[in-house]
Amino acid sequence: SISSLFCSGSRSSKTFKPKKNIPEGSHQYELLKHAEATLGSGNLRMAVMLPEGEDLNEWVAVNTVDFFNQINMLYGTITDFCTEESCPVMSAGPKYEYHWADGTNIKKPIKCSAPKYIDYLMTWVQDQLDDETLFPSKIGVPFPKNFMSVAKTILKRLFRVYAHIYHQHFDPVIQLQEEAHLNTSFKHFIFFVQEFNLIERRELAPLQELIEKLTSKDR
């Protein structure tokens, strides 16, 4: 399973940000275990489907935390290659450049280097995941009405980190022998957002060819 990849000794366990843990014994922890078990079967299309009788918000929440942790790990392995000098702008190839705004602290989008942008982005995601009113960890606490729109924004932004890694840092990924790991993680992410229609197609454009290649085998 993907999580066992993270734990094997050969991998650098360097995360970019602290890992977000789902409390053991909670229902969300059970859901995470279910997700890991179905991932182990190798059928990613099946693995992303909403388990019978489960709440969609909760399923999206658990998987969003999991993707944050995965991307955290993947970016953590290549931070040495993603510097102010190598990546003065946050881009995903020559046609796509991202400027940061979070709507609260930074309202007007600012142009910044990729490491700075990813730092803003991952800190922002972490703040959302830690907000109990948005991502309740206690049983019976309802999800807020705007939960799905927040989750969509988080996933849209996390996608940009994958896009940046693929476009600007694929060589070190190959050198570090992380390619299969990155592809599996990204494929899982794409199947998930496709299953629940969570990211608009135009947002996925920087990796459209790769998405078609990774998903065509599993139609």
Residue 78 forms part of a structural domain: yes
Residue 87 labelled as part of a binding site: yes
Answer for the pair 25, 60: CB distance below 8 angstroms, yes or no.
no
Phi and psi angles of residue 9, each rounded to the nearest 5 degrees, phi first:
-60, -25
Distance CA 205, CA 28 (A): 32
Residue 7 labelled as part of a binding site: no
pLDDT along the chain (219 residues), means of 10: 38 71 86 83 86 94 96 95 96 96 90 96 96 88 95 98 97 94 94 97 96 79
Domain count, the chain: 1
Residue 8 forms part of a structural domain: no
The structure's pTM equals: 0.90
Question: What range defines the domain where residue 155 resides?
Answer: 25-214
Residue 4 forms part of a structural domain: no
Residue 74 forms part of a structural domain: yes
Task: Return the CATH number at 93.
Answer: 1.20.140.30
Residue 34 labelled as part of a binding site: no
Residue 11 forms part of a structural domain: no
Residue 18 forms part of a structural domain: no
Residue 65 forms part of a structural domain: yes
Residue 188 labelled as part of a binding site: no
Quick one: pLDDT at residue 9? 36
